[in-house]
Amino acid sequence: MKHYWSVRVVPMLAVLSFILGGTTVAAQTTQKQWQLIKKTGGPGYTLELGEAPVRQPGANEVLVKIHAASLNRRDVFVVAGTYRMPPRDVVVPLSDGAGVVTAVGAGAKRFKVGDKVTSIFFPRWIKGRPAGDVTEDSMGGAVDGVLSEYITVNEETLVALAEGLSFEEGATLPCAAVTAWNGLFTRGRMQPGDYVLLEGTGGVSIFGLQFAAAAGAKPIITSSSDEKLTRAKALGAVGTVNYRTTPDWEKPVRALTGGGGVQQVLEVGGKDTLPKALASLGPGGHIALIGGLGGFGGQVAAPALLGANITVSGIYVGSRENFEAMNAFIVQHKVKPVIDKVFEFKDAEAAYAHMESGNFFGKIVIRM
């Protein structure tokens, strides 16, 4: 196994008591925290475990005890130094976490102590279109993330944990699930009966499969693994294609639709898959440009868009408002996130290695 990380331990601080609302409460002042430390003499970061202070909440802030966090492919890009973000020497990684509010600062009213909450990907994108530079600040990138025992954040940057979900399940949602939701519903306007193409069996694609099936659409999914395709059928896929044994996979995808093509595509592959995704799309269809597993890039020919009335959307996660709409759908349809494996907090290094291997189905979670 490759190793890109080392461990650093910083001396513990003391635990003190303070007065909150007339009650004496033991205030945690130190915590264990994973940090990305900028490499010297080269790009990227090393992942190091140490101790850090716990900052008590100020005005309009809450302190959250994190119980679980999850990884996205984007987190591997951050470690490698290829993710677009401001230069930083130290970064607390991961955008996706779920936990319990343990303290509330002055003026904070959205949550109370004991509430179960989930982080959002963009702390400043609350609703509507992404005005100004709100997408410049993402958790675990330009802003410190959640791979920490505690986080102190503005109360606006949280949503309530969806009813019926565990902390591990809730921690899978902020990036991959919201991305799939916006690609299919907010921008794609998916309808019952639509054929939906999902590429691979990572977080975005599996959430897309579950959402499409729950909404009465017809998901078709690709993978290089027949075993994973069998699992996808159990989640509601009406058709599957092994892209390793069938390199021209756009042909069987169209055949599965009766020749008419799909109405929706969650395009996560990038330059290697985009041409085939476009060839799979039927008239009036929508393609959500999301990722670059095979490298970012690719060409979208304008005449093809015009001739077939095709819509192309760039999807970069979404807002808190989108997250809350998605949570309502998840509760209504009893969608249960698919978790491939849960790692313990001390084994974060192994979780990153599992993500980098690509040998997973759904989401990878770290439990605190």
Please say whether the beta carbons of 190 and 184 come within 8 A: yes
Query: What DSSP string runs through 14-37?
Result: --EEEEETTEEEEEP-EEEEEEEE
The dihedral formed by the CA atoms of 295, 300, 305 and 306, expressed in degrees to the nearest 10: 160
Question: For 188-314, which CATH superfamily applies?
Answer: NAD(P)-binding Rossmann-like Domain (3.40.50.720)
Domains 16-176+318-367 and 188-314 share a fold: no
pLDDT at 306: 81
CA distance linking residue 312 with residue 321, whole number of Å? 22
CATH code: domain 16-176+318-367 is 3.90.180.10
Name the residue ranges covered by the structural domains of the chain.
Answer: 16-176+318-367, 188-314
The whole-number mean pLDDT for each consecutive block of 10 residues of the chain, a chain of 368 residues, reads: 38 38 59 97 94 97 98 96 94 98 98 98 97 95 98 98 98 98 98 98 98 98 97 98 97 98 94 90 96 67 81 96 98 98 98 96 98
CA distance linking residue 182 with residue 318, whole number of Å? 7
Please say whether the beta carbons of 176 and 355 come within 8 A: no
Give the residues across from 69 on adjacent strands: 97, 366
pLDDT at 300: 74
Region of residue 259 (left: phi > 0; alpha: psi -120 to 50; beta: else): left
Does the model's pTM come out above 0.85? yes
User: In terms of residues, how long is the chain?
Assistant: 368
